[in-house]
Amino acid sequence: MAPATQKRAAAKFYQEDIVQRKDDPNTFGVVLRCWQDAEDLPAPADNVDPLMRPLVQGEVGVSYFPRPVREIISEDKLDLVDRMYQPGDLLKRSVDDVRSGIVTSMNVRGRLEHAISGEKYPSWLTEHDVESAVEVDMGDYVVYNDWVGQVIEMFDEAWIEVTGGNLVRLPELSARLAIGEKGPDILPQPMSTVQGLFGFLLGSTRPSTADTVVSVKHTVLAISWLAINQSLTPEEAEAKPRPQRIWHGADLGKLTVLSRRAEEAVRVGDRVRIKNDTSVHTTQHGKSSESQGVITVDTYIVQETKSTVNVLWQDGTRDALDTRNTVPYLNPDEYDCWPGDHVVWKTEDSKRHVVVQSVNAQERTAQVLVVETGAIELASVLELDPHGTNDWSAVASSNDGLGVRRGDLVFIHREGTTNGVEPPMVPRIGEVEEWAREPPQVGADGHLGGWRRDMANIGTRIAENRGKEGSVEEPPLKRPEKGDTSLNWFGEVVDLHLDGTIEIVLPNDDKVTLPLNRLTRLYDSVEQFEDLWGDDEGTIDEGEDVEVWEMTEDGRWVEGAADDDDEWESAEEGEDEVMHDAMDVEDASGQWSPSTDTVIPSHAELEAAQPGDSRPASSNGRPQSPDVPQDAMDIEDEPEEGSSEWPWKRFEVLPEAPPDHAFYNTIPAQPSRQFLARLSKEYKALRSSLPDSILVRTYEDRSDLLRSLIIGPENTPYENAPFVIDWMLDANFPQTPPIAHFLSWTNGNGRVNPNLYEEGKVCLSILGTWAGDKSESWSAARSSLLQAFVSIQGLVLVKEPWFCEPAYEKLRGTEDGMVNSRLYNEKAYVLSRGFVRRALEIPLGGLEAELNWLYYTNGKLKKVLDDARALIEKSKATKEDTEADRELAVPRLSGGGIITLERTLVKLQALLDAYPGSGAR
């Protein structure tokens, strides 16, 4: 067995942590990157930012203040000053704690110093003592004429104090500068093309280290209008068209800025003004004789914070903690939920809307309120769906979540109406128009294009005319006022009550409690842009030289060279016989890895295999992959393959494709000679080289379709479970990879594996559904169907599938990774027991006899039952792991896992009892 995974040290810092250098206590910084972050970095040649090289464990990327220095530094050289959260964030007391909590609110105190002079304010202040010195910022929400929008671009006019105390005006399209920033990068570098506005305003001024920002005004705003007031009647809404995109001048005074609770808390780097203190320190800049007059700066910068967080734990208890005594919960389990959450309780017989009352995270059980009956019942969390990512309802196809979360912005439907969908679904609305998606464009003349150029032109004219006759001084943007009910159709979720109602804070600070069906969530610009980012498929560019392997008549793989049609070519004798793996998987538990050559030997080589060969021949002379269950086909008095008593044929061509094949209704293309010739070679390889635990069926009437059955390897969560994947070869095969559809039988209760989606997608680089290395991608010259099938068994159905998610691979050996992997393994084990039941209850076209033989005649069903019951008894008897347990894929089950598994075992036992002559083998 593989040795127990060595535990790695836990991370000390997380993104947005405020840190202090141990060797310079006056230097603070904010953590921007951590080793454990899931991220894709550009190629090394593009790493111009000092923070953008790959990190090793124990390093973080930090940006310091007030001096603008960025570096990657060892965690050991830093102290944690504060850890920031916002409502709705998840946390734990420690990474190995199975119980998690949700942030309900924050209490933050800040230490301030003047933005220009650096003079410190004598006492610590809270958000109630200060107000933002920034009138509006990127991403802020604004309201106009019953529409909600977001600021997505701004044109600024900044006043810069330069050497000698003179002021110069810098207009530019950006939100780049803030009061108090200083250095040679404030002003643009002199260029021969600088002319017009910048030449007029800056004159002969050149950048220097003394340049300091003393004033910033946002003069032009671009606003993406997302959605309209949902309390309006259709007629009222029709009369209010989507507002204009670009706002400036007097029109700015018509906008109302809305703040979220998270934005009101003071954070390091915030520019603020102190309220109710007329003696605050100020600085003056400029001369009264100049056109701009004297600029007075009363802005302070938050330099340090101390925070406490109010937490609602899964078990329903509440705490107020110093944030430094918590850690962010970065990789929540898919079944995690918290008191007040609206979820769907799914069993095989029903789907019920329930409200979570409390969760026992250790046992993975939850007390839930059944909305329909009002009863409180005990549920396994493995049967709860907190996300609504499956087919719970087709009514709101645009919705991708159940209920609401603290911190969500919501529209409120008027009394007597609803959001139009069945609870616990809540629709999500908001549309970023195409113009707002347009990336920045720069023409050959160096000028911006598109709507950003329109903004720049407007901002330039305003700057040129500033102070002249007819120029307009921008009025301040409005803020909601207490007592004003005109915006009470919109609000922020602040609490979820155990009776299912939702507490909302309105723009005027009033609070209301409403039923879920009167709310609609806002789908904002940031969410929409993030949802547009997808995984690139791994491909090999045309014309690129690739390593080529060909398959000989007896299934041997030898090195060759590709010609124009990418067919397998003959090769010289004696070349290496290596078929590259389709994924890069760390060899931590006996699984395949890039350093393990996967050799498909000939029959002669199999017969000559020496004792101790890492890929032993089976008793019938066939190869076994490293993950094939050693006892998969072991039976007493094994009949000779091909006899009437032997239904377990690894490869067979059937007369007709079964109607339940996922691609049965597709229209096949006319196969070419090249297609059929390649298929003949593929068939020969499958006949000779499939492991005993993989069956493949093809069809005389549909040469483009295949079906594979893979039996889960031993000491994985998938042991003895059937995994069925349907395949289609398009007309371009083998130039394009085969198309796979996984038959997921999870009853909508989540993925059984990170690479096997509920909707049928099989995520694997060799199939072009994951962006792996080019050497791992499908190639007509070196890839095969056999390789695809074996890759799924050896690289997907593994002992620790949680780490198949690329972002989690680096967490192997960490406490966080070990906790999450164990939770995932339990889920995968329980769900895959249900696969046995599904395969036996509903006959699977072309594989009925094989499945009946394996599970009934060959006794695998009884083994599945016996093993599961023994695991349940062991789990109930003791909670402590032994050394031997650490080698097991599923050493124990939680209470919730037992509840769900026992439901399946009852059905499996009934199937065994009902099968004639199954016996107790």
The neighbour count for residue 914, using CB atoms within 10 Å, is: 8
Return the exposure string of 749-768: e unless at least 16 CB atoms fall within 10 Å of the residue's CB, then b: bbbbbbbbbbeebbbbbbbb
Both tokens of 44, joined, read 């090394």
Question: Over 572-614, what HEC string results?
Answer: CCCCCCCECCCCCCCCCCCCCCCCCCECCCCHHHHHCCCCCCC
739, 728 in Cβ contact below 8 A? yes
**CA pair distance 246, 173, nearest whole angstrom:** 13
- Let me know the angle formed at the C-alpha of 389 by 904 and 737, rounded to the nearest 5 degrees: 90
CB-neighbour burial class of residue 174 (10 A; exposed 0-12, middle 13-18, buried 19+): exposed
Do the Cβ atoms of 710 and 665 come closer than 8 Å? no
What is the rounded distance in angstroms from the CA atom of residue 744 to the CA atom of residue 222? 46
Scan for tokens 């791992």, then name that residue: 776
Mapped onto helix, strand or coil, the DSSP state of residue 563 is coil
Taking alpha carbons only, the member of 120, 89, 117, 111 closest to residue 102 is 89
| 583-600 per-residue burial string, b: 16 or more CB within 10 A, e: under 16 | bebeebbebbeeebebeb
Beta strands in 632-721 (DSSP E): 651-654, 694-699, 705-711
Helix (H) or strand (E) holding 719: none
User: Can you give the three-state secondary structure of 63-98, one letter per residue?
Assistant: EEECCCCEEEEEHHHEEEEECCCCCCCEEECCCCCC
How far is the CA of 700 from the CAs of 656, 657, 727, in angstroms? Answer: 6, 8, 15
* Separation between Cα atoms, residue 803 and residue 824, nearest integer Å: 10
Which of 767, 801, 269 lies closest to 538 in space, CA to CA?
767
β-strand partners of 741:
726
The counts of H helices and E strands in the chain are: 14, 39
Q: Measured in whole angstroms, how far is the alpha carbon of residue 673 from the centre of its chain?
A: 44
As given in the structure block, the two tokens for residue 377 are 């019942």
Confirm whether 804 is a catalytic residue. no
**For residues 737 and 768, is the Cβ–Cβ distance under 8 A?**
yes
For residues 378 and 581, give the distance between their C-alpha atoms in angstroms, rounded to a whole number: 45
Residue 217 CB partners (closer than 8 Å, separation 6+): 156, 157, 158, 474
Q: How deeply is 125 buried, as exposed, middle or buried, from its count of CB atoms within 10 A (0-12, 13-18, 19+)?
A: buried
Reading the block at residue 755, the tokens are: 């690479």
Task: Please check whether residue 542 is in contact with residue 777, taking contact to mean a CB–CB distance below 8 angstroms.
Answer: no
SS (H, E, C) 116-162: CCCCECCCCEECCCEEECCCCCCCCEEEECCEEEEEEEEEEEEEEEC
Give the active site residue among 34, 337, 763, 804. Answer: 763
Report how far apart, in Å, the C-alpha atoms of 154 and of each of 137, 157, 453, 482, 894 are: 8, 10, 12, 29, 53
Q: Which residues on adjacent β-strands are paired with residue 738?
A: none
Strand partners, 110: 125, 305
Residues with a catalytic annotation lie at 763
